[in-house]
Chains A and B, each alone.
Chain A
Amino acid sequence: MPGVTSLSDPVRALPLNIRSSPAKRDVVLVVSSAGGHLNEALCALSLVEADLHLVCNKNMLDNARFRKIHTVRDTQYNPSIHALNFLYGIWLFLTIRPNAMFSAGGPICLPFALLAKATRTKFVYLDTMARVSSLSNTGRIIEKYGLCDVFLCQWKSIAEQYDSIEYCGTVFSMSDQKSDQPASRAA
């Protein structure tokens, strides 16, 4: 009889939203050093609805924004750590199969940038807001070797120096309306 579900058929008896598999959400791998870089990443990803996996050098973040936080070793004083992080990155790429990768900087993103390139995973790189007059060291390497698909920069004066870099503005505002100080003080 039309419109009647036989209770003898357990699959048909289930409501439609349980029977059908939900649409799979995109997975974005976020690679960012702790501190300012991570703060910038959180601001920049405010509107992204994908499942976010974070790779970071410290796990000081009790943030529900990320599905999982993967801690890697810091590379500040020992560049050979990059090789270890590269191997870890291979495992991570195989395990979570990201649709895209995002970084707001910090040298820990370099081996993951190579992996994104090798696996043709889209990589959006945002150079840190902290560098006002020139690219960060990590940004220079990313730009020089074309390791990202989209290179965003928060300062116009830097973006204008490179054809491959897009200016986007700062991820958060540092001004208030009460201030009457000049926008920039000479160093």
Chain B
Amino acid sequence: MEKPLILVTMGTNDYPFTRLYNCIAADPLYSSSEVEWFIQCGSCDVAMPPLNGTVSELVSRRQMDELIQRAALVISHCGIGSLNQVLQFQKRTMLVPRVERFGEFSDDHQLQIANEINNSRLLVVFPDDPFPALDLLQIKSDAMITCERVDIVNYDVAEIVKRKLAS
């Protein structure tokens, strides 16, 4: 039987994100064979891979879509691209904004966007919040749910762009 997948995505920028790696590596599920991990680490250093899983620097958009669709839980930086994809698949996601004070980005824009999030499926772990322990029962339960892709595009904006490009 397929193990529930925990997908971690750290983005494509060149800044480190050791704090997120330390949080997931400290969780007992990181060294458990009951779950499968996929870590898209970008240029971040993953000192020790999970017991059962894959570490990849970059994946194509299509592969990331497939991984998100398959995942029982997504743990992600708070980048717009990742946010867009997890929202499309309505995945339960833990969002960890990269912050400037830890050298994780050049500014705190991920914190700004995190403050605007208003969605019951998305849990934002702010820099001073403790990283929640991963709940295996919840993950196994979420793995049973099939998430269809939903269209989250704001077509009012798309119409404005279409009109501006044409005029």
Contact = CB atoms under 8 A, between A and B. Distances in A.
A115 interface: no
B4 interface: no
A161 B62 CA distance: 38
Contact of B11 (A35, A44, A128, A168): A35
A150 B164 contact: yes
Given A47-B162, A122-B165, A187-B115, A181 B80 contact: no
Contacts of A100: 165
Given A36-B79, A60-B60, A47 B116 contact: no
A168 B112 contact: no
B58 interface: yes
Contacts, number: 151
Contacts of A179: 118-120
Nearest to A133: B112
Size bracket of the A interface: 35 or more
Interface of B: 11-14, 58-62, 79-85, 87, 90, 109-113, 115-122, 124, 152-162, 164-166
Shortest 9 CB-CB contacts between residues of A and residues of B: A36-B80, A132-B112, A36-B81, A46-B158, A179-B120, A35-B81, A39-B81, A47-B162, A39-B84
Interface of A: 26, 28, 34-40, 43-48, 50, 58, 60-63, 76-77, 100, 102, 122, 124, 126, 128-133, 136, 150, 152, 154, 168-176, 178-187
